[in-house]
Chains A and B, each alone.
Chain A
Amino acid sequence: MSSQRFLLKGGQILGGKAADLLIADGQIAQISASISDKDATVIELKGSIVLPGLVDLHTHLREPGREDSETVASASRAGAKGGFTALSAMANTSPVADTAGVVEQVYRLGQEAGFVDVFPIGAVTQGLHGEQLSEIGAMADSVARVRVFSDDGNCVFDPLVMRRALEYIKKFDGVIAQHAQEPRLTVGSQMNEGIVSSKLGLKGWPAIAEEAIIARDVLLADHVQSRLHICHVTTAGGVEIIRWAKARGIQVTAEVTPHHLLLTDDLASSYDPVFKVNPPLRTSKDVMALREALADGTIDIVATDHAPHTSETKDCEWAEASFGMIGLETALSIVNKTMVESGLLDWTAVADRMSTAPARIGRYSSHGQNLTLGSAAHITVINPSKSWVVDRDLVISKSRNTPFHGYELPGLVTHTFFGGRATMIDSKVIDKVVQ
């Protein structure tokens, strides 16, 4: 933990009353109307919103195996830029994170980088093949203390495998994060199946391929009384099923990505693969349903699904291109634009969706403490009155595949504190000082 003291003056705590906040010994030491501390570095935050450090439950860090597109270190820096203090490393690396050895390696890389807590996610099945369970226990008991298990990238499509996985993780207080995509309905799929895909001649990815798996899995989770989390929900139908399930008391949580809160499938008309993502961009009807669901809590959290890709895998024809968009650096601004400015969420609720709730689902005990006194000083500051233009050539991430290049976004993340260390000041990432 950092020994430097910071005095954050005049920011609106959780979007509420303005107050001063003192960071000392890596903790939130004091919050009151007016603090003075002669040893502290003062940071004026009048007009800004002070939030608990953002927690991403769905990030692709690409290391080990695809370090040309991103590393744990570069993703951590990108996270700091976006206001994140915790990232969850998805398991579809090379080798796959299906053993204690790989998850511990990723965990240690995160610690060394020192910008965020990197919490590795363990694969549900060996090699992500969907057949044999991976060493769930070993990963849970490892230094990485894995609690979230996901084959993301792939769907756990076999209902028997999914049932066994849901049952088995109960011993470890785990949760299965399902990438809901029925493979038989999405062979060779390129974009949402609908009017746009029919005109563009691109093979469709029908909404039912997501909805059918969500429906099956909430019933399974109910039957075996286990925790289920649905990754990147994109369909209005999926939202309805989750709402129904929660009403019945089923232990299901769900996430939505920032890009699915804003972008629709007609963007594919340019055939620019920067808009190619899995699950795909869908219709405005889906976007509206997702926003309402995030507002009423049917969808519990925002998760970025940050998916870096090298330029040659996007600088080509659509069918050849990789699926995925980066998102750490634009996430909070997009949520501001789509949810706060439209009045669907206030900042207290944003803190819940982007910090408290994801930390709870992942069992990240030092995060999501909602700026309580004595908790670790993981803090994010956003200035909602400053807007900024996204420039893909200036991103911190190693990859440039952002769909928002050229967009003017409202709200600039200015400061990030990770355990009391300032990882970003005035929107500039601060590297660790090597002693």
Chain B
Amino acid sequence: MRHLLSINDLSAADAIGILDTATELARINDGQVKKLPTLRGRTIVNLFAEDSTRTRISFEAAAKRLSADVINFSAKGSSASKGESLKDTAQTLQAMGADAVVIRHSASGAAQRLADLEWMSGSVINAGDGTHEHPSQALLDAFTIRKHLGKGASDLKGLRIAIVGDVLHSRVARSNVLLLSMLGADVVLVAPPTLLPVGVESWPATISYDFDSVIPTVDAIMMLRVQQERMTDLFFPNSREYSRYFGLNSERMSAMAKHAIVMHPGPMNRGLEIAADVADSARSVIVEQVTNGVNVRMAILYVLLAGGPLEVGSN
């Protein structure tokens, strides 16, 4: 496997392999070992054309713990300020000798264009492209779910997970629907009808407009961030009405199954899609998701970069 652009690039076995590798790395990281020599001498470029501190830092920490060199390239490429094209940026990075590029971009498909057009050799890792996918987020979410609810199984069979919020614009939702269902879980999407895409019936998930009826039936609730701008674009009347129907408040939290956990990819709109006391409650694994993110991203880097194809004539 050369690139990680989409969950579709992984088989169930590949995904479980990454989760298992992350489990071992977590154990090592929990112990005293903070740095491993495995990717020494390799250069990883973070090409972040869209603002994101947490994902970039997570990938940077993962790379450095494996002793790779990290170059950060931050280009705020909005459609208003065109500046240097993605192609030119990529060819510049290639000249710097990058073994892998972690790309976050506001245009769906940007990671695939980078990989397909071969403006650079090396691996391309999609850290979030527009509203398309965010594979490493889904992997760390699956890792978190498996850790808390997996009962020792390698996959997520028999688990039921709700993803709640702005599914239409969410790359986290798209990657998670693909991955969680691939690992055997039942996924239910909860959102106002305006925030579900036309064509969602073809996804491996069920749909509900009724958050309250779904809550007691699930093992995990993954809240998605809702952007304030969606109100002016007529997706819902105002934040009050959104929170009333789709916000995870303490009342709704008390209706959850005893073992069920609360997740959020961050950053949170406390008070809009999730109440502050829910975010800080014992059920919330939101902070742990961040730690898991570093271990999962180390596993991704390991799987993509540590091995190599058989070189002819080597020892």
The answer to A–B direct touch (Cβ < 8 A) is yes
Contacts of B132 in A (CB 8 A): 200-202
- Over the window 93-135 of chain B, the binary record of Cβ atoms lying under 8 Å from chain A Cβ atoms (1 yes, 0 no) is 0000000000001111110110011000000000001111100
Contacts of B200 in A (CB 8 A): 198
B129–A201 touching, CB < 8 Å = yes
Known: A270-B116, A272-B116, A316-B113. A201 touches B198 (CB 8 A): no
Contacts of A317 in B (CB 8 A): 86, 105, 107, 109-110, 113
In the complex the two chains form, what is the Cα distance from A195 to B204 in whole Å? 12
- Nearest-CB distance from A275 to chain B (Å)? 11
A194–B198 touching, CB < 8 Å = yes
Q: Does B237 contact A (CB under 8 A)?
A: no
Q: Does B199 contact A (CB under 8 A)?
A: yes
Q: Does A312 contact B (CB under 8 A)?
A: yes
Chain A CB within 10 Å, residue with most, of B106, B130, B171: B130
Q: Does A142 contact B (CB under 8 A)?
A: no
- Nearest-CB distance from B135 to chain A (Å)? 13
Q: Does A31 contact B (CB under 8 A)?
A: no
B79–A319 touching, CB < 8 Å = yes
Contacts of A201 in B (CB 8 A): 108-109, 129-133, 171, 174
In the complex the two chains form, what is the Cα distance from A204 to B169 in whole Å? 12
B174–A199 touching, CB < 8 Å = yes
Q: What total of A-B pairs shows CB separation below 8 Å? A: 78
In the complex the two chains form, what is the Cα distance from A328 to B199 in whole Å? 34
- Nearest-CB distance from B175 to chain A (Å)? 10
Contacts of B198 in A (CB 8 A): 193-194, 197-198, 204, 206
Contact of A196 among B79, B105, B131, B199 (CB under 8 A): B199
- Nearest-CB distance from A195 to chain B (Å)? 4
In the complex the two chains form, what is the Cα distance from A315 to B117 in whole Å? 9
Nearest CB in chain B to that of A196: its residue: B199
Q: Does B87 contact A (CB under 8 A)?
A: yes
B203–A319 touching, CB < 8 Å = no
Nearest CB in chain A to that of B8: its residue: A199
Contacts of B129 in A (CB 8 A): 201
Contact of A198 among B79, B117, B133, B199 (CB under 8 A): B199
Please provide the chain A residues from 299 to 314 with a CB less than 8 Å away from any CB of chain B in the complex.
312
Nearest CB in chain A to that of B196: its residue: A198
Q: Does B197 contact A (CB under 8 A)?
A: yes
Contacts of A272 in B (CB 8 A): 113, 116
- Over the window 261-276 of chain A, the binary record of Cβ atoms lying under 8 Å from chain B Cβ atoms (1 yes, 0 no) is 0000000001110000
Please provide the chain A residues from 261 to 296 with a CB less than 8 Å away from any CB of chain B in the complex.
270-272
Contact of A320 among B79, B116, B117 (CB under 8 A): B79
Q: Interface residues of A toward B: which range?
A: 20 to 34
Known: A197-B197, A312-B85. A202 touches B109 (CB 8 A): yes
In the complex the two chains form, what is the Cα distance from A320 to B112 in whole Å? 14
Q: Does B232 contact A (CB under 8 A)?
A: no
Q: Does A318 contact B (CB under 8 A)?
A: yes
In the complex the two chains form, what is the Cα distance from A204 to B107 in whole Å? 14
B108–A316 touching, CB < 8 Å = no
Contacts of A200 in B (CB 8 A): 108-109, 132
In the complex the two chains form, what is the Cα distance from A316 to B108 in whole Å? 11
- Nearest-CB distance from A282 to chain B (Å)? 13
A319–B107 touching, CB < 8 Å = yes
A271–B113 touching, CB < 8 Å = yes
In the complex the two chains form, what is the Cα distance from A199 to B203 in whole Å? 8
A271–B202 touching, CB < 8 Å = no
In the complex the two chains form, what is the Cα distance from A194 to B197 in whole Å? 8
Contacts of B87 in A (CB 8 A): 315-316
Please provide the chain A residues from 23 to 68 with a CB less than 8 Å away from any CB of chain B in the complex.
none
Contacts of A204 in B (CB 8 A): 197-198
- Nearest-CB distance from B170 to chain A (Å)? 9
- Nearest-CB distance from A120 to chain B (Å)? 32
- Nearest-CB distance from A350 to chain B (Å)? 36
Chain A CB within 10 Å, residue with most, of B110, B129, B197: B197
Please provide the chain B residues from 113 to 169 with a CB less than 8 Å away from any CB of chain A in the complex.
113, 116-117, 129-133
Please provide the chain A residues from 177 to 220 with a CB less than 8 Å away from any CB of chain B in the complex.
193-202, 204, 206
Contacts of B105 in A (CB 8 A): 317
B108–A271 touching, CB < 8 Å = yes
Nearest CB in chain B to that of A320: its residue: B107
- Over the window 72-100 of chain B, the binary record of Cβ atoms lying under 8 Å from chain A Cβ atoms (1 yes, 0 no) is 00000001001001110000000000000
Contacts of B108 in A (CB 8 A): 200-202, 271, 318-319
In the complex the two chains form, what is the Cα distance from A271 to B109 in whole Å? 6
A316–B109 touching, CB < 8 Å = no
- Over the window 171-198 of chain B, the binary record of Cβ atoms lying under 8 Å from chain A Cβ atoms (1 yes, 0 no) is 1001000000000000000000000011
Contacts of A202 in B (CB 8 A): 108-109, 130-132
Contacts of B171 in A (CB 8 A): 201
Contacts of B109 in A (CB 8 A): 200-202, 271, 317-319
- Nearest-CB distance from A308 to chain B (Å)? 20
In the complex the two chains form, what is the Cα distance from A318 to B107 in whole Å? 7
In the complex the two chains form, what is the Cα distance from A198 to B132 in whole Å? 9
- Nearest-CB distance from A383 to chain B (Å)? 36
Contacts of B79 in A (CB 8 A): 319-320
Contact of B112 among A199, A271, A312, A315 (CB under 8 A): A271
Chain B CB within 10 Å, residue with most, of A201, A318, A320: A201
- Nearest-CB distance from A318 to chain B (Å)? 5
Contact of B197 among A198, A271, A315, A318 (CB under 8 A): A198
Contacts of B117 in A (CB 8 A): 315
6 more CB-based (< 8 A) A-B contacts, given A316-B86, A319-B107 = A199-B174, A201-B131, A270-B116, A315-B87, A318-B109, A319-B130
Can you list 5 A-B contacts (CB < 8 A)?
A272-B116, A316-B87, A319-B79, A319-B108, A320-B107
- A: residues with CB less than 8 A from B are 193-202, 204, 206, 270-272, 312, 315-320
- Going nearest first, the 5 A-B pairs with the smallest beta carbon separation are A271-B109, A201-B132, A198-B199, A201-B131, A317-B107
